[in-house]
Structures are given as C-alpha cells and as structure tokens.
Amino acid sequence: MKWVLLTIALVLIAFVFDLGLLVYAACAVVGATLFARWVTKRWAAGLTASRVCSDEEVEVGHLVTIKGMISNEGRMDVGWVLIEDVLPADTQLFKPHKLEVEGERVGVFHLASGESRPFDYRIRCNRRGYYQIGPLLMETGDPFGFFRRFKVASEPSFLLVLPKPVSIEGYDIAARRPIGEIHIQHRLFEDPTRISGVRRYELGDPMNRVHWKATARTGVLHSKTYEPSALAGATIVLDFHTRSHVAKHEPYRSEIGISVATSLAHAVFLMGQQVGLVTNARDAVDRIREEGWRGQERSRTAAQQSVAMADRSERLRPVIVPTNNDADRFHRIQQTLARAELTDGLTLAELMLEAEPRLPRDATVVVISPNFDELAATTLSGLVERGFFVTAVVNTYEQEDFARMAGPLVAVGVRCLHLREETSIPRVCRAQWYGR
C-alpha cells in the first residue's frame, strides 16, 4: 500500500510540473509493483507440502527420521522457495540439545510447474519430552524482492520421547525397603506363602490348606492358617511445582526426579507388584493447538507464533495413573512422565490433599521432591497417622539440605532417602535410609 501511495503522489507531481520522464518512471514502478505482488501470490498459492515422521514414540537416544515432500501445483514455475521445518525453540537452548538435528531441515528450492522435491533429515532424541515437529514453514517472494509471502504448508507431527529407566542395582526384596512389603493392619486377603499357625479342619477348607504333618501326628485333620497379605507395590508421587525447583539447578534436578520415578516404577513393575503415579506436573498435551495449522502470514515471526504450542496451561488438577498391576501400567507411567512439565499449579501439600482419596492403602507412598517444606511435612504426617506407609526421596545434592528436610519428616514417621545426583539412582534403594 505504501508503494501505491508513493507512486500516485509521484504521478500527480509529474502532471503538475509536466515531467514526462517522471511519469514514465512512476508507471514503471506501479507496473513492477503490481506484477511482483501478483507473482508472489500465485507462487505461494501453488505450493503444498507433506511430512512423515518414522516414529511417534521412542526412548531417549533413539534416532527419528523425518521425510517430506514439497510440490508446486500451480501453473507457473516458482523461482525460489525457502522451507523450514519448525522445531520448538527450547529444544536448542541447552547442550546437548534436547533434539539434535542431523541433516538439513532448512533448504531453498526452485520448482517447475507440477514438480515435487523430497527432503529429509534425522533427529536424535537426547532428552525426554513431548515435542511438536513442524509444521513446515514456506517463504517465497517476487524476483525483485518487493514482497515476501510466508505459508504454513502442513500440519505438525508430535513426538513423544520416553524417559529411559535405570536398572536398580542390588534390589534386595528381603531387606527393609522404601517400596515393598510390610504388614498391614486390616486383613484384606491372606498370603499363602506366610504360614502363621495350625487349626482344626473346618468344612469347606480346600485340600491344599490341609497341614498333613499335623494331621498325621494327631490323627485329626488340621488346616494351615496364613498371615494377612503384606503391603506390596508403590504409588510414586512426583513433585513438579516450580517453587520446589530452584531455577539455577534446572533442568538438572527435575530431570533427575523424572529418571528416579521412572526407574522405581520399572523396578516395582518387574517384580510383578502394583505401581501407580501421582504428580502435580503440567501435561504437555494440554498445550497443543487443535486447529489453524494452515494459512498465510506476512512475516516469519507471525507465522511461527501462529503454529507454536501454547506457552501456558491453566490445569489445576493432579495427573494420576491409578495404582495396579496391569500389563501396561509401567508404559502408561512412562508416557505420563515423558509429558511432565514444571508448573505453578498445585503445591506438594495441595497435591497430597487432592490425591489422598485415590491412594490405595495397600501400597507404599513414595514421594520424590527437591524441597519438603513444613507444610509438606505436616501433610505427610497426616498420611502416616491415617495408616499409610510413606517414604520420602529428597532430591538435593547438599547433605545439609537433606538433613534440614529429613529431620521433621523422620520425626513424624516418614522414612527418608537422599538422592544426590544422577549417578546415585541405581543405588537409591540400597542407600541408607532414615526413620523407623
């Protein structure tokens, strides 16, 4: 519009002062401008693209291949088109990058009418997360450089990178453990591996309950009695509130918390025991845009902003994977942890109060957090008083910080474990614990 107004002004001046050459120049500018605008619009209208991601769900360290195709469906040759497959900006902030690109996701092409050109690159997944790959952003313009047109040419793909569990070394199931078996107060069911005594045979007792040695010794049928079944499995509670995580320690501490939660869930699952997850984290899925992937913008910044995932989520409810021993239980926990993001929603204390009605009493509650404040300690004390068996994994490097947080917890009957760094995760269940 500025070009048009300027040209009209020049033409009027030329007529007033009888400047023929200026009139000719003004007409040439108008013609070139209109031609450039028309060419740019036609080039952009004919461009299309598609993309295929080799995997939708992988573990950390996996290599994913992205293959795409750009096409010119218009009747005119496209002089040039710049393509960029958009990746989230935060994937390139830290080294190693969350998503490390191998190959070229940016390229410039000339496309004849009806021509298609392939492109491909690879992504090495270095850190867990839920990532939006694309959409494909195209830029083209007229030969004179007067106009630019930006086009969102394809819908995005979504890649879920699962956290990798670490093998828990020397997991002694006979020892006192933060997860595992303790006696419960209420007899829910009996454990046939724990014989507590012998009694007279009663009508209806199954044959495998008969105590044959006592029967032979007394000449009267006797049956075995069993102890109540022990507490087995764990409900893992992961604190992902921003107030609990010091900014200067991020993303290191939060990733350690994800790793130890994944590893403990995997260990319990392999033992055939029930396992579940409760967290106050934000689910990355809540930030996905559901529409508006295709369109044309007048600037690159506007095009990138129009297709990005939302920055915030107003979720104020916990993310819960119910505790049981289903065959897919660990995989569901792994998927949930992969999508977990720090949030300023529910604090740890608020999370426990919200989730307590859904916590089974026949599973240990393992709470993982880098900061157990006074309110959190009071909340966990209430769980212990109501019959829950609680263990706290304190995710902090400094011994002084651990001692400061563990004191109030031990005093109210919560067992405490110190998780200093990533290399200590394999030995977390063998580390010295504090408490009864």
Instruction: Say if residue 170's pLDDT is above 70.
Output: no
Q: What is the mean pLDDT of residues 43-47?
A: 85
**pLDDT at position 171:** 47
User: Does residue 297 lie in a domain region?
Assistant: no
Res 298: pLDDT: 52
**101: in domain:** yes
Q: Where is pLDDT greater, at 310 or 266?
A: 266
Do 224 and 242 share a domain, yes or no?
no
Domain membership of residue 50 (yes or no) is yes
Residue predicted with more confidence, 92 or 13: 92
Q: What is the pLDDT of residue 104?
A: 87
> What confidence score (pLDDT) does residue 325 get?
87
pLDDT of residue 173: 33
Average the pLDDT over 56-82 and give the result. Answer: 91
Nearest of 268, 185, 272, 274 to residue 227 by alpha carbon: 185
For residue 172, what pLDDT is reported?
A: 39
Which range scores top for mean pLDDT: 22-31, 42-51, 123-132, 295-304?
123-132
Q: Are both 78 and 224 inside the same structural domain?
A: no
What domain count does the chain have? 4
Higher pLDDT, 249 or 124: 124
Query: Does pLDDT of 40 surpass 70?
Result: yes
Residues in Cβ contact with 377 at an 8 Å cutoff, skipping those fewer than 6 apart: 405, 408, 409, 412, 414
**Whether residue 30 sits in one domain with residue 146:** no
Domain for residue 190, yes or no?
Answer: no
Give the residue among 344, 295, 354, 345 at the shortest CA–CA distance from 151. Answer: 295
44, 60, 78 - which closes a domain: 44
Residue 194 has a pLDDT of 61
- Shared-domain flag, residues 38 and 68: no
Same domain for 113 and 88, yes or no, is yes
> What are the Cα distances from residue 128, in Å, to 131, 166, 251, 262?
9, 14, 12, 11
Residue 158 shares a structural domain with residue 131 = yes
Does 240 fall in a domain?
A: yes
**HEC per residue, the chain:** CHHHHHHHHHHHHHHHHCCHHHHHHHHHHHHHHHHHHHHHHHHHHHEEEEEEECCCEEECCCEEEEEEEEEECCCCCEEEEEEEECCCHHHHCCCCCCEEEEECCEEEEEECCCCEEEEEEEEEECCCEEEEECCEEEEEECCCCCCEEEEECCCCEEEEEECCCCCCCCCCCCCCCCCCCCCCCCCCCEEEEEEEEEEECCCCCCHHHECHHHHHHHCCCEEEEEEECCCCCEEEEECCEHHHCCHHHCCHHHHHHHHHHHHHHHHHHHCCCCEEEEECCEEHHHHCCCCCCCEEECCHHHHHHHHCCCCCCCCCCCEEEEEECCCCHHHHHHHHHHHEECECCCCHHHHHHHHHHHCCCCCEEEEEECCCCHHHHHHHHHHHHCCCCEEEEEECCCHHHHHHHHHHHHHCCCEEEEECCHHHHHHCCCCCCECC
Residue 127 neighbours by CB distance under 10 Å: 19
Over range 289-311, report the average pLDDT: 53
Q: CATH number, domain at 356?
A: 3.40.50.410
Lowest-pLDDT range of 60-64, 203-207, 257-261: 203-207
Q: CA angle, corner 241, sides to 424 and 362, nearest 5?
A: 70
Residue 19 pLDDT class (50, 70, 90 cuts): low
pLDDT band at 432 (very low <50, low <70, confident <90, very high): low
Mean confidence (pLDDT) of the chain: 81
What is the spatial distance between Cα 206 and Cα 214, in angstroms, rounded to a whole number?
16
Residue 433: inside a domain: no
Non-local CB neighbours of 53 within 8 Å, separated by 6+ positions: 64, 65, 66, 133, 157, 159
Asked whether residue 253 falls in the same domain as residue 365, the answer is yes
Percent of the chain whose pLDDT exceeds 90: 31
Q: Do the domain assignments include residue 183?
A: no
- Tell me which range, 140-144, 202-206, 277-281, is most confidently predicted by mean pLDDT: 277-281
Do 244 and 383 fall into the same domain? Answer: yes
| pLDDT for residue 39 is more than 50 | yes
Under 8 Å between Cβ of 140 and 324: no
Containing structural domain, residue 27: 2-44
**Could you tell me if 205 and 255 lie in one domain?**
no
pLDDT at 177: 42
By percentage, how much of the chain surpasses pLDDT 70?
80
Are 259 and 399 contained in the same domain? yes
pLDDT at 208 over 90: no
What would the two tokens of residue 354 be? 């919200």
State whether 238 and 157 are in the same domain.
Answer: no
Q: Are residues 275 and 347 in the same domain?
A: yes
Give me the pLDDT at residue 87, please: 86
> Do the domain assignments include residue 393?
yes
The CATH number of the domain holding residue 104 is: 2.60.40.10
Across the range 81-108, mean pLDDT stands at 86
